[in-house]
Structure 1
Amino acid sequence: MSAAASHIECRQGDIARQDDIEAVVNAANAALRSGGGVAGALHRAAGPELAEACRPLAPIQPGQAVITEAFGLPNRHVIHCLGPVYGVDEPSDELLADCYRHALELAEQHGITSIAFPALSTGAFGYPAAEAARIALATVLAILPSCPAVKRVRFVLFDAASAELHQRTLTALGRRD
């Protein structure tokens, strides 16, 4: 399947409430523990079993991804990615791209047909939003042809401005889904 046959969408919403998606991506910390932002929201919604499942998989390095069950979330799986801290973890662009690449590869390996991403590294890790959106969307577009199981990719953004930025970036990269 080509990337053109896959559906990519950008919308404002709550990553912990994507009940029509098989796997959600956690903007994880190295210890795979609950925290603020996306990690806190997903851990709260999933329940304490998520922390138990994560414990033996930690620590992870920037750019890495691991997968667990989703427990109390409405999804089958959570894919945990550690994005780079902007200005600290280098090369930050490659490490950020690795997050999206490794998450899609895990989805493919597990036969996951739909996946939802937050804007990795743009919160507490300080990645500039426009640059992060360009890297995320360009990487997803490049990797999707090698992930035929993945039919739908959703970017779930916290606010309207982020959703609009991602949609504009997707359009600029040549997709109008």
Structure 2
Amino acid sequence: MSDDVSTRPRRRGVVHLAGWLFADLMLVLFVTSFSSIVLAAPAHPVPPTRSATPSPSPSKSLMPQKPVLVLNPQPFYINVDAAALAANVVTGQVAQNIIDQMNSQLDARGFRNAKAGLIETFGYTPSQGSASRGQAEAASINKIITGGIPSLAGALTQPYWGGGDDNKAEVEVFFFE
């Protein structure tokens, strides 16, 4: 039987192993040089000052606390005059009606004095073809409630379209903790 080159198992040569050895060596050199980098010291170090009495460590009560937005929205459902809101012809009576509905629901749930951080309002219209009208209604509602209810003033607002009954709106309020 003849020794056919194609049937013999191929032995890996030194050149092949040298390539892997080179790659491993480069990896080791990279990791070693990267980990040995010394960060530069500041150009003008601030000398420590000595005080006669040690300063007290700041306690949590002395440090100002940043408000935390609770990521659980509180939904409020209100009846609106969709035609007036969409046309941006909001009378004092329409605006007061929205403010009264929101205030009564805020009182009922104990959120009257809670500070709002984000308000998402869904203006309902029956079809998606009138989505822009629903968003216009929601934007008008946002303007009314942030201008008329002190605890909602200053909150970020976002108008959305929601499919549903024409004279309804949903206001989702995210309050600070």
Q: What TM-score does the superposition give when structure 2 sets the normalisation length?
A: 0.30
- Tell me which of the two structures has the higher relative contact order, counting C-alpha pairs closer than 8 angstroms and 6 or more residues apart: 1
